[in-house]
Amino acid sequence: MKVKYLIEKIEGEAELEFDFKNGLVDNVNISFPFYRGIEEILKDRDVMDALVITPRVCGICNHAHLIASVRAIENGLSKAGINIYLTQKAISLREFTLSCEIVHSHFKWFYLVALPQLLNLDGIKKPDNYILKASWASTNIVKALAIFSGQWPHASYAVPGGVSCDPTYEDIIQAEALVDEVTRFVENELIGMSIDEYHKAKEISNIKGDMATIFGMMAKQNMKEKGKSYDRFVVLGEHPIFQSGLYNKKYSNDISFAHIKEQTQHNSKAKSVTYKDMCYEVGPLARAILVKNDFILNLHDKYKDSALTRVYARLDETIRLLVYMKSLLANLNVKELSCTLAKMPKAFEASGVGIVEAARGSLIHQSIIKDGKIQKYNIITPTQWNLSSGTQKEAGVAVQAMKGSVSIKEATFVFRTFDVCSVCTTQ
């Protein structure tokens, strides 16, 4: 039996066509129907236009696209023999704002997607305070981001050689106060304990708050066993608290971009992405596995890449990023230069790659520039890794995870544990 189902509220839409066999999901075809054309829009434009256009790819992870774009330009300039270096101040500001965006996305996903979906599975009416929690936490963390980026979404404050802002001590104090407010929210609402106590907790059963609530609901729905895929993970972006590499039964840091391949998909505007012709999961769970996060590794040992492990990896990352953001602000030296590139060269030829760990996983921007104009631009998004229908050899990561689901409701919850984003996917 085939059943088509439209998924909404994912920054766009996706269509899932389910094949049922003996009452269980046997296969799923994932289709992203809308083409964006951002890569085509960028052709023949000045290279700096990419810093204005690429943040418009997505309203949730727009900052990640900006950072990936500027890194691609900087990488190309370096290859062209132009000296590019960043001060620690510029690096810290980029990392702070990017971390804010990831935390913002995680909060909204948890309170507006994961919890409502589980309550729907349980047949329980969603309390209105979850909407208020999502709004309060995400708004305040974005306020901290905008102190340095000037606006959110669609900021263009990251430029080749650094950033365009020059924050004062007052700016830092305001950002610290906002991060502290969000941290108190996490302690009071999300985990029901101090972050220090959380880091000492070895078992899920020791955690309180909304994390305990969702654990109870996921256990009831057997999400400890549901949602398992290939247990393969890849992290490509450079980040001080993440580790690039891949995991496929064993760890490896030997990654070659020559093995990354995009393929068109039948009946979808999105392309699939593979590494050595195999599907790999990207995102918070991949990052936790590669950095060997003890708390998540403990869950992974018990439940592998289940829906429960995937959900908890995203929540755990939220907490760890807040701690990291505090350290970035505490060590920010306002006396350093914000940008070291005095003037952007006009006519140059270069080919560059920029990689970022965005909220949903590894994001890649590739640019080919001639005479200062973009000749070709390519964007590979996290959703392409996680949510393709797959290849001729094997089903996609999310498809494999949905197999065996007893209903469309259950399967779509598993689908949403990957924090789907449609508009990023069809470039």
| pLDDT, mean of residues 385-405 | 92
Task: DSSP for 410-422, please give it.
Answer: HHHHHHHTT---S
Using pLDDT thresholds of 50, 70 and 90, give the confidence band for residue 299: very high
Residue 72 lies in a domain: yes
Confidence tier at 9 by pLDDT (50, 70, 90): low
pLDDT digits (tens, 9 = 90+) for 199-214: 988 778 889 999 998 9
Answer for the pair 92, 328: CB distance below 8 angstroms, yes or no. Answer: yes
Q: Measured between alpha carbons, how far is 71 from 241 in angstroms, rounded to an integer?
A: 18
Residue-level pLDDT at 239? 80
pLDDT at 110 over 80: yes
Residues facing 395 on adjacent strands = 390
In this structure, the strands spanning 245-248 and 232-235 are antiparallel
Q: Is the residue at 425 inside a domain?
A: no
Whole-angstrom Cα distance, residue 199 to residue 187? 12
Q: What's the confidence (pLDDT) of residue 426?
A: 60
Quick check: is 421 in a domain? no
Given this model, what pLDDT does residue 7 score? 67
- Residue 239 placed within a domain: yes
Prior bond to 153 cis, omega within 30? yes
Report whether pLDDT(140) > 90. Answer: yes
Full-model pTM = 0.94
> Which one, of 25, 21, 227, 192, lies nearest residue 117 by Cα?
227
Comparison of pLDDT for 221 and 3, the residue scoring more: 221
Range of the domain at 400: 2-416
What pLDDT digit, counting tens, does each position of 12-26 carry? 677 889 999 999 999
Q: For 153-191, how does the pLDDT look when each residue is reduced to its tens digit (9 = 90+)?
A: 889 999 999 999 999 999 999 999 999 999 999 999 999
Q: How far is CA 180 from the centre of its chain?
A: 23
Report how far apart, in Å, the C-alpha atoms of 339 and of each of 53, 236, 321 are. Answer: 21, 26, 25
pLDDT band with cut points at 50, 70 and 90 for residue 151: confident
> How many independent structural domains does the chain possess?
1
| Confidence band for 6, pLDDT divided at 50, 70 and 90 | low
Kindly tell me the number of DSSP H helices and DSSP E strands found in the chain. 15, 13
* Residue 301 lies inside a defined structural domain of this protein: yes
How confident is the prediction for the chain on average, in pLDDT?
91
Which CATH number goes with the domain that contains 187? 1.10.645.10
Q: Indicate whether 426 belongs to any domain.
A: no
Provide the β-strand partners of residue 98: none
How far apart are the C-alpha atoms of 91 and 108, rounded to whole Å? 26
The number of beta carbons lying within 10 Å of the beta carbon of residue 124 is: 11
